[in-house]
Amino acid sequence: MAVSRKKHNLVIVESPAKVKTIKKFLGSSYEVAASNGHVRDLPKSKMGIDIEHDYEPQYITIRGKGELLAGLRKLVKKADRIYLATDPDREGEAISWHLKAALKLDEAKDKQVSRITFNEITKKAVTESLKNARKLDMNLVDAQQTRRILDRMVGYEISPLLWAKVKRGLSAGRVQSVALRMIGDREDEINSFIPQEYWTLEASFAAAGSKKPLQARYYGQIGADGKPARVDLQTREETMRIVDGLRDASFAIREVRRSERTRKSPLPFTTSTLQQEASRVLNFSTQKTMRVAQQLYEGVEIKGQGTVALITYLRTDSVRVSDEAQASAAAFIEESYGSEYLLQQEKEEKKNSKIQDAHEAIRPTDVTRLPAAVRESLSREQYRLYQLIWKRFVASRMSAARYETTQVRIAGEPAQGQIPVQLFTVASSRLLFEGFQKVYMENEDEKTPALGKGLDTDTAISLESFDPKQHFTQPAPHYTEASLVRALEEQGIGRPSTYAPTITTILARRYIVKEEKNLYMTELGEVVNGIMKDAFPTIVNPSFTANMETLLDGIADGEVRWKTVIENFYPDLHEAVVEAEKTLEKVQIADEETEEICENCGRHMVIKYGPHGKFLACPGFPECHNTKPYYEKIGVACPKCGKDIIVRMSKKGRRFYGCMGSPECDFMSWQKPSAKKCPRCGGLMLEKGNRLVCADKECGYVESRGDAEGEES
């Protein structure tokens, strides 16, 4: 009697790190191997898209992947069934499709080829995926192909133009160019910002029965209709008029209002919110966050347990939580903290049309696996990120925090009646029930003064002192990696998988630099951004890019034909490139000859562009290695020592204006100084957009550039 041969299965994943994690879940009839990411791509030597024949992409095997594919083909020959188990997103679907082509699985008629996906690398998730094996989703593949082709077209059409007009080694990208423009627009907004003066007025009151003074802030006055009217103090004169008018005033508590407010628990992490919170709490860059999260997702060696995947898939727009994970979290919270800490009502999740696929939020694979229990097995970075994800998820399933709030309104009635009745307010909150804050604090609450429980309208109070303060409005802050990710997400630009690579690319190209957490444009970035805005306004238009993301979603949903998107995109792009080649002047950012003579060989030195800006170099290199600092003077004398102000570069390539007498003289300005003196105080004027502004905020003189008449800020 013939004995039936045992079926042999092959599971192909992306990352070698997943192999050990998954292998322990499957029996001896399963072989697990890794593709190490993509195995085919467009060629680097050319665009690789056949424009003349329906924009067909011309894929080739990635250099260095031949041996790996040969090994996979041997495993395929032995297997009866092949499971393509790459990541559960468009990129993963495309990798599976490329694997199928590279391994010629279509030709293997005697073998079954299936696609499986799992949101977490756990035994239950992996075995369930085998039961629900499916065919490749060509809509997802086509969405990824379209993104890749669009990005290739932008890069290979525009980058050579930048090489010709600026310098070699530069690049343009469909999403990176928009991100660069957003950073540039923010810097323009900051540089043209004119501070506006405003004042605050605080008052200290003594309240009967209280040892501590009551600190209140000026609110406004009682209007002609007898109702409170808010007043914003703009000048010292306004502020002192109120102070002087209330010197002999009588004060009384006009109103005490007590109420209760709740603070809802946060939603679990998406890719974007994880990157933002990891930046705020852990000071991680977006790239570092994704690198460490990938390790936690693929599996970490845990003492006594082997390789364990600690979190679910890390590239997601969704805040959805599976029923099983929800039930597990509820049981854990009830047992660990009590039923009163359990979220009783299902959270309302924002429905976002841009959410990609049907992923879950980022959460721990097992909520009972406490961070402290695995700390010894994790690196410091892994532990801190896992702890953040664990706390956020548990908190998202917990009840709201409750506060008692007290608002007190104090009225000051002037003795002589020269001014209306003036109002001051003070507010405080007292925690009644901590709820989710038992586990996780999003932001520290503002500390408010504690108010006595017995405070009411009968409590006698008297004025102790006034504290008037001058302030100036501040411009919008520079982008950080976290705030740029938030802005990209809010405007629908890019997807979870693109945020970190986009920022990493423009940092690597030195278009921007990061100082502390802030992102600043370099001189090179300004040049590239200027060219992109002038020659390719559509490409760097955030709305256009966001609309393209919507079209990609339409392709993934099977509602839009992918070739149609490319057919509509390429001709306009190519036409813009041809026009730019004719009209754009070459940017003299390197090798511009100067009158400076090289003292070593007598040649005219040229301006070169290095990582930290411009410098003078001898064109006789390599025979002559002479270099000198390049001082770009602006024709303005230093207000401190009288020497020339010159353009300087920070160590990271950010432009500023400093004194030629540095380091003895410490004058510096981020805005360009003007040769014109302030007509009001005689001080230095700065160029801000189309206006000149006195550097002395106290003076506040402002005028339009070229105008004779000035104005007060």
Show which residues are catalytic. 313
Q: Is the dihedral of CA 511, 515, 519, 523 positive or negative?
A: negative
Task: Collect all residues with Cβ–Cβ distance below 8 Å to 225 and sequence separation of at least 6.
Answer: none
Do residues 209 and 171 touch, judged by C-beta distance below 8 A? Answer: no
Find residue 230's DSSP bridge partners: 220
Q: How far is CA 47 from CA 66, 143, 548, in A?
A: 22, 19, 20
Instruction: Characterize the bridge pairing of strands 112-115 and 81-84.
Output: parallel
Please, what is the end-to-end C-alpha distance for the chain in angstroms? 100
Where are the extended beta strands (E) located within 414-475?
Answer: 422-433, 461-472
Q: Report the alpha-carbon distance of residue 561 to residue 555 in Å, rounded.
A: 6
Number of residues assigned to the chain? 713
Coil, helix or strand for 600? Answer: coil
Rounded to whole angstroms, the Cα distance separating 158 from 155 reads 6
Q: Rounding to the nearest 10 degrees, give the CA dihedral for residues 38, 41, 43, 46.
A: -130
Helices 542-556 and 176-191 cross at an angle (nearest 10°) of 150
Alpha-carbon span 357 to 713, nearest angstrom: 51
Query: What is the DSSP-derived secondary structure letter of residue 445?
Result: P
Q: How far apart are CA 342 and CA 315, in angstroms?
A: 28
DSSP state of 28: T
> Burial of 110 by CB count in 10 Å (0-12 exposed, 13-18 middle, 19+ buried)?
exposed
- Report the C-alpha gap between 577 and 22 in whole angstroms: 48
Question: What is the CB-side half-sphere exposure of residue 281 using CA atoms within 13 A?
Answer: 21
As a whole number of angstroms, the distance between CA 610 and CA 524 comes to: 10
- What are the beta bridge partners of residue 592? 607
Torsion of CA 332, 333, 338, 339, to 10 degrees: -100
Q: How far apart are CA 86 and CA 255, in angstroms?
A: 64
Q: How far apart are CA 74 and CA 83, in angstroms?
A: 15
Helix (H) or strand (E) holding 375: none
Q: How many CA atoms lie within 13 A of 53 on its CB side?
A: 6
User: What distance in Å separates the CA atoms of residue 392 and residue 382, rounded to the nearest whole number?
Assistant: 15
Q: Which H/E stretch holds residue 61?
A: strand 60-61
How far is 660 from 11, CA to CA, in rounded Å?
Answer: 66
- Residue identified by tokens 């977490």 is 120
DSSP helix/strand/coil, 362:
strand
- What residues contact residue 433 under an 8 Å CB cut-off, 6+ apart? 340, 399, 401, 402
| Six-digit token string for 513 | 């630099």
Which alpha helices (DSSP H) does 166-251 contain, by range? Answer: 176-191, 236-245
C-alpha pair distances (Å), 60 with each of 42, 428, 481: 6, 66, 35
